[in-house]
Amino acid sequence: MDIIYIRDLKVETVIGIYAWERQVKQSVILNLQMATDIRQAAATDQIEYTLNYKAVAKRLIDFVSHSQFQLVETLAEKITEVVMTEFNVPWVRLELNKRGAVRGAKDVGILIERGIKISQ
């Protein structure tokens, strides 16, 4: 299985449990690895045979920017559901970073994997 990835996708969204967090947008940073098979795309040089990372990024920007979850855990789970169901991805690994959430820490977040990564 091949991996298509997106790194450091920054999206502004309402996220958090505190009252002040419900009033402002904060940045979250997404890093995704998505399993796919690129062989037909490579052989034909045609975008329709691969996972279009631009389409994935645009969809996630739209989804995340309009979401208003309290927990990063919920947001992460919903992001992986979007990727897997809408883009037919069998396995995804997502790192969701909420910089500034903990004083003194450069960043904090969550790392999840969903689906079955198929080896070649």
Residue of 58, 78, 98, 106 marked active site: 98
Alpha-carbon distance of 16 to 73, in angstroms, equals 11
In sequence order, which residues have a C-beta less than 8 Å from that of residue 32 and are 6 or more positions away? 5, 6, 9, 56, 60, 83, 92, 93, 94, 95
Ranges of H-type helices in 31-95: 39-44, 53-66, 72-86
Indicate if 54 belongs to the active site.
no
Residues with a known catalytic role: 98
